[in-house]
Amino acid sequence: MGQPEQRAEGAGPFTTRLTWHRPEGGTVVWESRVARRRGALSVRGPGEALTLSPAADAEAVGRLRRLNAVASAAFVIGGALFALGAAVAQFGSGDPLESAAIYFAGGLFFNTGGYTSLLQVLNAPRHTHGGGPLVTAGWRWWGYEPMRVAWLSAFVLFLGTLVFGVNLLDSFLQGLTVQQTNRLIWTPDVVGCVLFLASGHLGFVEICHRARPCLRSRSLGWWVVAVNQIGSVLFMVSALAAFTRPATGSPVNADIANWGTLCGALCFSIGGVLQAFERP
């Protein structure tokens, strides 16, 4: 019997979808996000419709569920704390240390969510030649796989959470000059936002199988990426509005900075809730 005909799709060096057309008829489709998040392949027999079919073993399924639960909960809580911190900054007593402490607590949850997202990629089941069942490798706490768009997206996201951590720690410093404030607090904030936006774009590459974003309104994974990317855009708007002007020593627009953070954080909480359902 002949070998299945294989077709690869993706963007640049990244392969995000593989389709095998079997000689006896039927099709098997591996999609990067669906396989690593839900442990499934799309299968169509001769004359049948394409359906999602479990393809990972029980160990892999349990692993995926546990990691997804931790990551989604971390982003829900982290986003809620960031929203609370922004609300305190906008409507509270005006004590910057109060909101800084809340932001810092939220940042720890974002760190946890970012690293767990990386673990999800590293420990997800992998496809086999010819569209056979997914294979689960041994547990790994770290790995370097830059040619996988899922790994790169998760790594950039995790790196962004660490850079935000620098911003959050420096927010506790007192008596800074305008130049020091912009260098130690504002600059890491902007860099973190850029990394979040880059991670979100790579997430779209994985789902859309091309370099440009697409609309996949029936895909839960697409909604997770889209809502989080909206949150990243709002975070960037907030960061730009928080720049301290040397001439006045005050931010460009404190209201926009606070509301951008609050709404962006709520997007990440909503994304975390949606992610909780993106499991096997």
Question: From residue 95, how far is each of 86, 186, 260 by CA, in Å?
Answer: 12, 18, 19
Q: Encode pLDDT of 32-41 as tens digits.
A: 999 899 888 8
Q: Encode pLDDT of 212-233 as tens digits.
A: 989 998 899 999 999 999 999 9
Q: Encode pLDDT of 123-142 as tens digits.
A: 998 888 777 788 888 899 99
Residue 143 has pLDDT above 50, yes or no: yes
pTM here is 0.92
Residue 144: partners with Cβ closer than 8 Å, 6 or more residues away: none
244 beta partners? 251
CB of 224 closer than 8 Å to CB of 270: no
CB of 271 closer than 8 Å to CB of 231: yes
Based on the number of CB atoms within 10 Å of its own CB, is 102 exposed (0-12), middle (13-18) or buried (19 or more)?
A: buried
